[in-house]
Chain A
Amino acid sequence: MSASTTAPGAPEVYFDPVRQAHRRKRARRDALVGMASLLGFVLVVGFAISRTSGWPLVQETFFNGSEFIATFPGLLDAFLLNVRIFLIAEPLILLIGLLVALSRDLRSPLLLPLRVLATLYVDIFRGVPTILVIFLLGFGVPALQLQGVPNNAVFWGTAALVLSYGAYVAEVFRAGIGSVHSSQRMAARSLGLTSLQTSRYVVLPQAVRNVVPPLLNDFISLQKDTALVSVLGPIEILRQAQIDASSTFNYTAYVGAALIFIALTIPMTRFADWVQARMRRRRTMAGAA
């Protein structure tokens, strides 16, 4: 903070009118040029595509209006299952991620088994493709014919997503814990707080705040990956689109499904961007103080 003072009678801010007019004019010109350039690009690309010999067929099989109207309500209906999988999986992922991240940083020798287990879990589930985990759990566990274990495809598909994403989210949380400067822990300990209290009240709240943007990113990814559960057979949106496509030999339902995903993920992406920008601003302010 500088103790700058202005002369009495001088305005708070002063902007040379000529300079201001010039800046405004340049901004207007930049906006016009940008719009024209974008419009030209879209026209050229659209024209080029429509001139290709295959275009009429593509238009008929992927962008068929009546087919779109016929399949869209069914897709929306099926999408509810994706939404349900997402809503059940996400809180569980956050919980597992946090617990695993905390277990991996344990220092007590007595709790070494927990630390080893957590490390193994992350290594394995980060290393195996999500779709493979879904196959293995979805077909493997019901085949064991265990008593009292559900053999429902949605259950195991969701469980596979939780296990796979839990490993990623655990690493995100761990990075967040690592991003809190060690001087914070030192300050808390010097005030007499125990190690546990320090984690609970000082380190974790800051760590979680730091990883909100990457976590939102993983949420977006999970929304899309609910479609992977289709390989086990339940009629979620991708499965429904496959059924529509194979009964009419028209692929418009896939485009409809893509639009539904986009309608959900784009607002989420913008929200993540907004959160990230806000946090960057706050951090810059904190740095200046």
Chain B
Amino acid sequence: MTETLLEIAGVWKAFDGHSVLRGLDLSVARHEAVVLIGASGSGKSTLLRCINGLETVDAGCILLDGDLDVTAFNTDMDAVRRRIGIVFQSYNLFPHMSVLDNVTLSPRKVLKRGSSESRDQAMALLQRFGLAAKADEYPDRLSGGQAQRVAIVRALAMEPELMLFDEITSALDPLLVGEVLDTVRELKMGGLTLIMATHEMGFAREVADRVCFLDAGVVLEQGTPEAVFGSPREGKTREFLSRILK
């Protein structure tokens, strides 16, 4: 049976009096890959940021693993973020550190791992994603695709239970999108639970267990990729898909 890892119930979030999330509900099972689609401003990024506490919600609750309430007043957000990884559109690597130091920083400082242990773990991850040769390079010497893969490895080094991807291919040269998507595909095969906001519809169709169409701050329609892409029920979903797949 599927076990729920993340339960989002009735989440509201407004910026400057304008509501971006309007009572959004969503639940994600362990090992599930959920892809969020929708127009810019439909709330995809805001939702991801609320899930790991980079934004506080105005109302509603987000429960991780049935016991940890991300939205409670007294929650230790550092503890939440240790369990939830996020990768951003603009890689946000630390430019003053080598690739290896980028990856080992939080295992060393947050998980208090020894430097040789964290180094071995980081090298194994870099090796797995074809980045071992770049371990001593600085971020300004990487291509966009390499930088984004390092950002993914950096988040993975914390061994998160849930991984969030916020339009991670949107800033990339079209030629470099493939290598990043390959990385995500491999993570999905490894069984990692992931929520991904993306405009890559072909990839969404291939990798997603479930596709959620966000509109005006709620999940308007969700289902298997075949259902949502093949025969969307809602007019707005059809309209969005016809515009983006053109």
Interface residues of A (CB under 8 A from B): 1, 3, 183-184, 186-194, 197, 201-202, 205-206, 209, 282, 285-286, 289
Instruction: Please tell me which one of the listed residues B78, B106, B140 contacts residue A285 in the complex, with CB atoms under 8 A apart.
Output: B140
Q: Which of B101-120 contact A (CB under 8 A)?
A: 105-106, 109-110
- Give Cα A227 to B155, complex, Å: 54
- Give Cα A4 to B76, complex, Å: 51
Contact with A along B22-50 (1 / 0, CB 8 A): 00000000000000000000000000000
Instruction: Check if A193 sits within 8 Å of B105, measured CB to CB.
Output: yes
Instruction: Please tell me which one of the listed residues A183, A192, A282, A286 contacts residue B110 in the complex, with CB atoms under 8 A apart.
Output: A192
- Give Cα A3 to B51, complex, Å: 39
Instruction: Check if A201 sits within 8 Å of B109, measured CB to CB.
Output: yes
Instruction: Please tell me which one of the listed residues A1, A184, A189, A206 contacts residue B54 in the complex, with CB atoms under 8 A apart.
Output: A189
Instruction: Please tell me which one of the listed residues A187, A201, A205, A289 contacts residue B92 in the complex, with CB atoms under 8 A apart.
Output: A187
Instruction: Check if A184 sits within 8 Å of B92, measured CB to CB.
Output: yes
Q: Which of B89-106 contact A (CB under 8 A)?
A: 90, 92-96, 105-106
In the complex, which residue of chain A has the Cβ closest to the Cβ of B52? A190
Q: A183-B90, A197-B109, A202-B94 are in contact. Are A192 and B142 (CB under 8 A)?
A: no
How many A-B contacts if CB must be within 8 Å? 70
CB-defined contacts of A188 to chain B, threshold 8 Å: 94, 106
Q: A184-B94, A202-B94 are in contact. Are A190 and B81 (CB under 8 A)?
A: yes
Instruction: Check if A289 sits within 8 Å of B142, measured CB to CB.
Output: yes
Q: Does B175 contact A (CB under 8 A)?
A: yes
Instruction: Please tell me which one of the listed residues B85, B88, B139, B155 contacts residue A183 in the complex, with CB atoms under 8 A apart.
Output: B88
Q: Which of B54, B106, B139, B141 has the most C-beta atoms of chain A within 10 angstroms of its own C-beta?
A: B106
Apart from A190-B52, A192-B81, A192-B110, what are 13 other A-B pairs with CB-CB below 8 Å? A184-B92, A187-B94, A190-B54, A190-B86, A191-B155, A191-B158, A192-B79, A197-B110, A206-B94, A286-B95, A289-B139, A289-B141, A289-B147
